[in-house]
Amino acid sequence: MLIDDSSPLTQQPHPVRDTLPANAALPVPRLFAERPPMSLTPARSLKVTAAAMSLALGLSFTAVPEAVAQSSQPGGSSQAAGGPISSSHVHVGATSADMNFSWRTAYNGQEFVKYYPTANPEAVNEVAATEADFGAIAYRANHATVTGLQPGTEYTYQLGSEQGGWSEAATFRTQPAGDSWNFLTLSDAQIGVNLKVDEQAEAWRTAVRQATGAYPDSQFIVHAGDQAEGWGDPIKQWEAFFTAEELQSYPLAMAKGNHELLPTSIVDKHFKEHGNLPNAKPGDANYFFERNNALFIVLDSNETGNKYFEPIDSKRKRAIEKQSQFVRETTAAHGADKDWTIVVMHHAPYSHGGRYHEKEITQMREGLAPVFSETGVDLVLNGHDHMYNRSHLMNGTEPVIPEDTPKPGDVLRPKANETVYMTTTTAGGGKYYDFHTRDGKKRKEFTDVSQTYGKDFAIPEIAVWRQDYNPDYANIEVSKNTLTVRTHNVADNSVVDEFTIDRSGAAPAQPGGGEGNGSTSGSSGSSQRNS
């Protein structure tokens, strides 16, 4: 049995809809509210399409306020109730010397980022924002990029304007130079499952707080998609996502998940509003950024692995070709001088979460996995399946099966063209998927790899998996020769899995290059990088 997480939820009681008299006009869903020209006021009547009204019963009905919507949940200072700025966060820039910003405001004029080195408050600079217009009536979305930042420096910043009001001051620290550093990865906060926005927002805040508390020197946070549930009130869900106040100091690198397109692709506007993506073409969610000795490539796997977004095989094939070319061009232009190449995409090619045999996942796996190996990708970070999975070393679609049973603490020594895939479970805890066998049967009683490894149940590409029905986060330590990935359970911070990709003694990676010359043994295979 295959899992379909895109079907509508059972309709829940609603405080507005269920109190309306029979045949009463329904309030306009905020999702489809159009913003009038700037000369009009938000109090004017809203226009909605017939398509919007036909979807109204499946959405949240909330009247659009004249002031910018504020979350009632805890958040950063710039999002305090009644403040001029909301949903603000820092997003990774193209390099360590850049920082991207995104925020909402009710003000109709020009907005800015005002920033200075915290140690030198006299050196104030301002950068003008551009509007990310996606049709909202009650607020404007702003994007800005600051460049030329100094490494290893704390900066203080504010968002807004003199006329519209400034956010309270927040800080971020740029990445120091050097080959040894770390970052965090989470996935599937998916706030709003079964309309439980507040509960899942609190779980998300707890996960981020736990991760940054355990690893305070982390340089940024990867979130591998499904920031919001989509079904229900996506505006409230996205607002709740940004109540994790750490997102005002730790840059975010987020991928687009399938729930960024639910219940309709119109919801994609919210991702575009909040995602100030570096090196992305207009309207595209494929992007890349560089951090010291590592290249990160973030792919929109809805193009290649989402049957609802792209159900036509021929178009999906073209999307796979497009992304393959993007990976090849990006690694050739920006990866030759890097020790590591890491890909982030929402849909998991290898997982026990029940989707392994879906046609779209199979096509994505067969199309992209050989390209990742060919171009020297070391690690692929995924979400979507709401359970933890770690693959064997993969040469294209072929697993490198080790002599020893895989276990936490493995040291992997890859040969040329070998890649590891890791799927992170939900950080919001709204739902989980049970273990599915290699033939697609659900076996809820299996919760740990020790119950299935070497038996007929396991997918042959998976080395370690775990489903403990608790949120996780992972810390990834980067050095010149090793990547160490340590996944923690949020509830007690225990280690779910840990593995190291060790390139010590191996030749530097050359994307698309030839075979290495020599090998060393490891607990999950032996290898030599491209030379």
Strands 181-186 vs 472-478: parallel, antiparallel or unpaired: antiparallel
Domain 181-502 has CATH 3.60.21.10: yes
pLDDT at 497 over 70: yes
Mean predicted confidence (pLDDT) in 484-492: 98
pLDDT at 445 over 50: yes
**Domains 77-173 and 181-502 belong to one CATH topology:** no
Contacts of 199 (CB under 8 A, 6+ apart): none
Mean predicted confidence (pLDDT) in 36-61: 31
- What would the pLDDT profile of 280-328 be if each residue is shown by its tens digit? 999 899 999 999 999 999 999 998 877 666 566 788 889 999 999 999 9
Q: Which two tokens stand for residue 503?
A: 């390139």
Question: Measuring CA to CA, which residue among 426, 342, 339, 330 is closest to residue 380?
Answer: 342
pLDDT class of 435 with cuts at 50, 70, 90: confident
B/e letters for 302-332, b = 16+ CB within 10 Å, e = fewer, are bbbbbbbbbeeeeebeebbeebbebbeebbe
pLDDT class of 198 with cuts at 50, 70, 90: very high
pLDDT at 70 over 60: no
Gap between the Cα atoms of 67 and 41, Å rounded: 11
Q: How many CA atoms lie within 13 A of 437 on its CB side?
A: 12
pLDDT at 409 over 90: yes
Dihedral sign for Cα 40, 41, 42, 44, please: negative
- Percent of the chain surpassing pLDDT 70: 77
Question: Measuring CA to CA, which residue among 66, 65, 46 is closest to residue 56?
Answer: 46
More confident residue, 46 or 5: 5
**Eight-state DSSP code of residue 232:** B
pLDDT at 209 over 70: yes
Per the prediction, the chain carries an average pLDDT of 82
Gap between the Cα atoms of 352 and 226, Å rounded: 19
Gap between the Cα atoms of 262 and 311, Å rounded: 15
Q: In the prediction, which pLDDT does 84 show?
A: 87
Q: Break the chain into its structural domains and give their ranges.
A: 23-66, 77-173, 181-502
Q: In the prediction, which pLDDT does 441 show?
A: 81
Q: In the prediction, which pLDDT does 255 show?
A: 98
Least confident window among 292-301, 340-349, 355-364: 355-364
Least confident window among 85-94, 373-382, 453-462, 517-526: 517-526
Q: In the prediction, which pLDDT does 454 show?
A: 57
- What would the pLDDT profile of 210-266 be if each residue is shown by its tens digit? 999 999 999 999 999 999 999 999 999 999 999 999 999 999 999 999 999 888 777
pLDDT at 95 over 60: yes
pLDDT at 81 over 90: no
**Eight-state DSSP code of residue 363:** H
pLDDT at 474 over 70: yes
* Counts for the chain of helices (H) and strands (E), in that order: 7, 25
pTM of the model: 0.82
More confident residue, 120 or 262: 120
Q: Topology of domain 77-173, per CATH? A: Immunoglobulin-like (2.60.40)
Q: Which two tokens stand for residue 183?
A: 């970052």
